[in-house]
Structure 1
């Protein structure tokens, strides 16, 4: 069950990144919408509405969750760059996935994700090393740097895309 839940392993943060690690993470964020699009390419509505594991979200919900999360991560990046140590509230992703927009076609989520990631990457690539050290307050984890958000965001996209790819492999899709 652990492998189904964490196909690429649990997130680990090892502190401030090197310039090379940041470039790699930014590249993962740039590629994520396309990797996700490839992961769901050719799936039927019935397949999109299949949970990636027992008790887990459906593929459709995963796609919409990734779009929601990217919107939040992008917004947090902008706030942390333009405000002194802003505080961020959490959101209940399970409740968000019950809202009507998550029943919409995944193409709409992918279009939003692609445009959003272009803008987010433009900001990330323009940031100085000091910008990555800027802090914010996460409602549950406390003070964090943008470096943490970058690392988590890069992992998060790969983590959920791996859920879909693992399901496709298990189901022979």
Structure 2
């Protein structure tokens, strides 16, 4: 995938998430693919919670390329429970997702060699390009889960 396409796909993820959520009321947002799976609302919150971490990682790599960044692993199930994802509105989080992605897109388009800048972390080394690919894969994987849930429930 060309860098321009990668950045475009990265920047469009919030719009794709909003489209996937369109037409859902509280009842629809509570639907699950299966008994032990997260609801649509929980999946959407999870995408954005993870992106908050990715946002900081990407900013660090862009600002201080080649330096080591240690980030805490987090248990998504703990965050889901303690942040009450099953009960909370998505409105503010969707705005946050949009602005985070817009900001990283802006930096990638503005800074010389942005996608080649490097982050060193406890699991190895990655370029910003690698990180954006990962971020896209994560978001679109879960957006597809939302769409699958809607199909299962004819929403």
Distance 1:118 1:81 in 2: 15
1:65 corresponds to? 46
1:111 paired to 2:105: no
1:167 corresponds to? 149
Distance 1:53 1:148 in 2: 32
Aligned residues: 152
Cα deviations across residues 112-148 of structure 1 (Å, max 9, x unaligned)? 11122211211122243365241321x4x33322222
2:15 corresponds to? 34
Aligned-pair Cα RMSD in Å: 1.9
| Structure 2 residue matching 1:155: 3-state secondary structure | helix
1:14 corresponds to? none
- Residue among 136, 145, 149 paired with 2:120: 136
Q: Show the 5 A alignment for 1:1-173.
A: 21-83=2-64, 84-100=67-83, 102=85, 103-129=87-113, 131-137=115-121, 139=122, 141-173=123-155
Distance 1:70 1:50 in 2: 23
Query: Unaligned regions of 5+ residues in structure 1, if any?
Result: 1-19
Query: Unaligned regions of 5+ residues in structure 2, if any?
Result: none
Structure 1 residue 55: Cα displacement? 2.1
Structure 1 residue 151: Cα displacement? 0.7
TM-score norm. by structure 2 comes to: 0.87
Q: CA 1:101–1:111 in 2, change beyond 3 Å: closer, same or farther? A: farther
Cα deviations across residues 46-98 of structure 1 (Å, max 9, x unaligned)? 22112234422111111111111111111101112223132222211111111
Task: Decide whether the 8 Å contact of 2:116 with 2:129 is kept in 1.
Answer: yes
